[in-house]
Structure 1
Amino acid sequence: MTHPLLEIPAAYHAGRPIGITSVCSAHPVVIEAALRLSLETGRPALIEATCNQVNQDGGYTGMTPADFRAFVEDIADRVGLSRERIILGGDHLGPNPWKDRPADTAMEKAEAMIAAYAEAGFTKLHLDCSMGCAGEPVALPDTTTAERAARLAARAEAHKGAVPPVYVIGTEVPVPGGALEELEELAVTTPEAAAQTYEVHREAFEEARLQDAFDRVIALVVQPGVEFGHTDVIHFQPEKADALSASLDALPGIVFEAHSTDYQTGEGLSALVQDGFAILKVGPWLTFALREALYGLDAVADVLDGTPPKGGLMAAMDAVMRASPEHWSKYYAGTETDLWLQRHFSYSDRIRYYWPRQEARAAVAEVKARLDGRDIPAPVLRQYLAVPATDDLAGWDGLLVNAVQEVLRIYEEACTGGRNKA
């Protein structure tokens, strides 16, 4: 059976670029929004889990790859989307969750992880062995990265199902979740670096007798010059990536995968797809939009009670985050006011790690209960939610799903509605 993602590089090299949105989230509302959009458009939904989020030990979500698949498929069944329309991907698959251990130990864990992903039917696998383990430099030589990637591919191939997986490779991998420092300018990957990445991986796969697997490498992770920090975004400037884009002419069957595309403009996302950066990964922007909607609905509940917004949900979430700071304290810095603003409004959206907590779920449920059965006047809704007030958005679930889809529709237009390459 042919993998549906193979058509993306084929289309680009035939002069008619198309793209696909890679939804990187484990939030059920985000996944529902993506699956409902797939139902509407008829295009596949690509849902990805990261190595820290989902692995054989449970990750920070507590889900194994098989659990995550069941989680996504349960949502698909509920919204009426055929399971065959879902492509599951694994992101940053490699030793990263165990990089504080010696390389041999970390790679053994990484092999077990990718085997679990492959066995669970994940068919888009991003091989990321670019980070050093205990006693190694932070960044490894390309040859070491490629040899370890081939080792993981061999394990995936041994556990693949009816649809052979496609692979994404790369050695210039942006930090997941956004940059930590203030941003001014980024170094775009050079054509020479992209060619070197491709070649060392080709040689490593060939040495491991994995030519068939290498034929299913569809993309390289590169830096096209996009990133976001706490309050700023570096937007795509096509002219700075012209040479990198042109280098795809020498890489048949390959496109680029762009990470950290969150908060780009629609025009920028369209330009990325047209220039061969055809797999657009997005995550924090989706939960950022969800958080905006939840805070807005909390304000609406107060207004309907005849008072100015009191910020009860915000206060509850701040208490949850302060009680368990492990997901934000290493990433946010500054005065107490700075930290407060970052906890709630940073583009990196590290609050997304806290919505599954029992206390957070209870706080959200309280807001929902206050709104259940109440008519929300359109002017009140428009004051606090950046969505049109139409009848089909009635209800809590509809409002939250729509808030996420407002972002996903920007990506969908970029992936399908841009001008064809001349």
Structure 2
Amino acid sequence: MIINSEANLGRVISRAISEGRLDTVGRIIRLIHGKAGGATLLGVSPITDYVIDGSLMEADDLKAPMAFIASLNQVDYDGGYTGYTPQSFVSVIKDKVKRMSIDSLIIISLDHCGPWLKDKHVELNLSLNEAMDECRKSLEQAIKAGYDLMHIDATIDAEASHPPEPETVAERTINLIEYAEDLRKSEGLGPLGYEVGSDRWGYRDAEHVVKLVSLILSGLKRRNLSIDVTFAVGDVGTSVKPGNRLNVNRAIELVNALSKHGILLKVHSADYIENPQDFPSIGVGGANVGPMFADLIYRRIKELALIESSLKPRESSGIINALLNELSREPSVLKYVSSIEELKSLIGDSREFLLGLMTRYVWSRDAVRHALSILKSNLRSINVDVDKELISIVMNSVKHLMLNFNLQGSLLMLKQPATWFTF
């Protein structure tokens, strides 16, 4: 966990952690979740520095905790599409927290670590053993970098024509957790939190999710692995698209079933969610948001590019063309369209929506960075601060979610010693 020990809240919380009174990330998450009216931890995909900065600033404003949930595609030992390795990512967050005087608690989480859940695993046609070895390598880097919570997701099987059965998913999940725990202990590091399951699994009913969790817990016990499974993920009807809604009845069923094991429900794909106020009220423990931010940033960039065009600058940024050119060379876009030709043929709102989501893959590319620097220079002449504009877009969205998730002021609970032993 990243805390500014020089700030007001940070001093109190960091002291409690160092003294072992707030000893695990799971305990802290459950304490926050126990706020009156419930509270749902917001997890944000760190797809650009604008998303990182805006999220940190809003967490500071609201005195709320937050989590950065970094997938293997985004942040990994090879740099991912953000260009960050786990080590450099954690270092950058620490630097930003200190430099920006952020008085919050930042949880760093690995998202969807499992075989074939990194695009390169599929592109390279890795076998199960090869993909599992890659996951172990990614886990090692994340643990050594200081991540707090590991999402182990073994629900995909690229070698089979049907979804893996709960027994198979449980076995692979436990194998990766055991590796992580052996490494953690050998490095002399403190306890980790874990998240299991997925909304991407072919079996989407609550019965299969509960069976999977039971198999994982019993398997961990047989191997004498005493760990904290903080979150479990299941399909609750959410998907990354406008009009997205949580299926409240399905979520309540999972919340109740998981609570019997002391596990919180984590909702994935909460982008564009229309009923965020329902999350804390029914007991959802966490919710992840990511691709939506790329879309929001892209749409604002388009508006800024039009303003730039009206200025008739000596050198135009060509920012939209730079994005399109880089996307045309990005294999990951084929998760959304069958071919680059199909991407180019799209028109209207469907084209803009998909382009917005896909831009997350290329914001760190040199050509895009160069175009963005020209755009910023051109608009500076009319006192438009592009960085501030894009950070503001993120802050507004994060604020909306945090307020509806009842996170505002929740860190103040951690200043009260009486709450530390409630859960």
Q: Partners in 1 of 2:137 and 2:325 — Cα distance? A: 37
Compared CA separation, residues 198 and 240, structure 1 to 2 (3 A): closer
Q: Partners in 1 of 2:135 and 2:289 — Cα distance? A: 24
Contact kept, 8 Å, 1:191 with 1:244, in 2: the verdict is yes
Contact kept, 8 Å, 2:277 with 2:404, in 1: the verdict is yes
Q: Partners in 2 of 1:407 and 1:370 — Cα distance? A: 27
Where does 1:17-416 land on structure 2 (aligned, <5 Å)? Answer: 17-81=38-102, 85-96=105-116, 97=118, 98=121, 100-133=125-158, 135-160=159-184, 162-170=189-197, 172-174=198-200, 189-210=204-225, 212-213=226-227, 216-229=228-241, 232-251=242-261, 253-265=262-274, 268-304=275-311, 312-322=318-328, 324-332=329-337, 334=342, 336-338=344-346, 342=350, 344-346=352-354, 349-375=357-383, 395-416=385-406
Contact kept, 8 Å, 1:227 with 1:233, in 2: the verdict is no
Compared CA separation, residues 104 and 234, structure 1 to 2 (3 A): same
Q: Partners in 2 of 1:30 and 1:121 — Cα distance? A: 21
Contact kept, 8 Å, 1:344 with 1:351, in 2: the verdict is no
SS in 1 for 2:67: strand
Contact kept, 8 Å, 2:81 with 2:364, in 1: the verdict is no
Q: Partners in 2 of 1:320 and 1:57 — Cα distance? A: 19
SS in 1 for 2:150: strand
Q: Partners in 2 of 1:347 and 1:273 — Cα distance? A: 32
Q: Partners in 2 of 1:347 and 1:247 — Cα distance? A: 38
1:11-34 deviations in Å (ceiling 9; x for gaps): 657874111110112311100111
Q: Partners in 2 of 1:90 and 1:132 — Cα distance? A: 20
Between 1:197-206 and 1:334-343, the stretch displaced more is 334-343
Instruction: Tell me how large the CA RMSD over aligned residues is.
Output: 2.9
Q: Partners in 1 of 2:251 and 2:87 — Cα distance? A: 38
- Counterpart residue identity of residue 91, structure 2: A
Q: Partners in 2 of 1:248 and 1:227 — Cα distance? A: 22
Q: Partners in 1 of 2:370 and 2:284 — Cα distance? A: 40
Task: Note the C-alpha offset of 1:128.
Answer: 0.6
Unpaired segments ≥5 residues, structure 1 = 176-186, 377-394
- Counterpart residue identity of residue 191, structure 2: P
- Counterpart residue identity of residue 316, structure 1: A
Give TM-score scaled by structure 1 length.
0.79
Contact kept, 8 Å, 1:8 with 1:18, in 2: the verdict is no
Instruction: Percent identity, please.
Output: 22
Task: Note the C-alpha offset of 1:62.
Answer: 4.0
Q: Partners in 2 of 1:57 and 1:316 — Cα distance? A: 23
Q: For this pair of structures, how many residues does the alignment match?
A: 374
- Counterpart residue identity of residue 200, structure 1: L
Contact kept, 8 Å, 2:240 with 2:269, in 1: the verdict is yes
SS in 1 for 2:167: helix
Task: Note the C-alpha offset of 1:245.
Answer: 3.6
